[in-house]
A = this chain, B = another copy of it.
Amino acid sequence: MTYQHPTMWVSIDCLVFGYDVSEENLKLLLFQRKVEPFAGQWSLIGGFVNENEDLLAGAQRVLKTFTGLDGVFLEQLSTFGKAHRDPGGRVVSVLYWSLIKLDSIQKEVVNSHGAGWFDLEQLPDLVMDHLDMTQLGMEQLRRNATTTPIGFELLPEKFTLPQLLRLYEGIYGKSIDDRNFRKKILATDVLVRLDEKDKSGSKKGAYKYMFDERKYHELKQRGYHLDFSIK
Q: Tell me whether A41 is interfacial, beta carbon within 8 Å.
A: no
0 or 1 for each of A70-91: is its CB under 8 Å from B? (1 = yes) = 0000001011011110001111
Docked complex Cα distance between A54 and B84 (Å): 8
Contact of A81 (CB < 8 Å), options: B1, B49, B225: B49
Digit string of A1-14 for contact with B (CB within 8 Å is 1, else 0)? 11101111110000
Asked if A147 is an interface residue, CB under 8 A from chain B, the answer is: yes
Interchain nearest-CB distance for A38 vs B (Å): 12
What are the interface flags for A84-111 relative to B under an 8 Å C-beta threshold, 1 for contact and 0 otherwise? 1000111110100000000000000000
Known contacts A8-B8, A8-B49; is-contact A94 B79 (Cβ 8 Å): yes
Pair A5/B9 contact, Cβ less than 8 Å:
yes
CA distance A146 to B225 in the complex (A): 12
Chain B residue nearest to A147 (CB atoms) is B223
Question: How far is the CB of A225 from the nearest CB of chain B, in Å?
Answer: 5
A53 contacts chain B at the CB level, 8 A cutoff: yes
Enumerate chain B residues within 8 angstroms of A2, measured Cβ to Cβ.
36-37, 88-89
Can you tell how many copies of this chain the complex includes?
Answer: 2
B36 touches A55 (CB 8 A): no
Total interface residues on A, using CB and 8 Å?
40
Task: Say yes or no: is A152 at the interface (Cβ < 8 Å to chain B).
Answer: no
Fill in one digit per residue for A200-229: 1 if any B CB lies within 8 Å of its CB, else 0: 000000000000000000000011110100
Instruction: Look across to chain B and name the residue whose beta carbon is closest to the beta carbon of A95.
Output: B79
A122 within 8 A of B: no
CB-based contact A225/B223 at 8 Å = yes
Q: Which of B89, B92, B222 contacts A55 (CB 8 A)?
A: B92
Instruction: Indicate if the CB atoms of B89 and A10 lie closer than 8 Å.
Output: no
| Contact between chains at B81 and A3 (CB < 8 Å) | no
What are 21 A-B pairs with beta-carbon distances under 8 A? A1-B89, A2-B36, A3-B35, A3-B48, A3-B91, A5-B9, A8-B8, A10-B10, A10-B81, A49-B81, A51-B83, A51-B90, A52-B83, A52-B84, A55-B81, A76-B78, A146-B223, A147-B147, A222-B227, A223-B223, A225-B225
7 further contact pairs, Cβ within 8 A, besides A51-B90, A54-B81: A3-B89, A6-B50, A10-B81, A55-B81, A76-B78, A79-B79, A79-B94
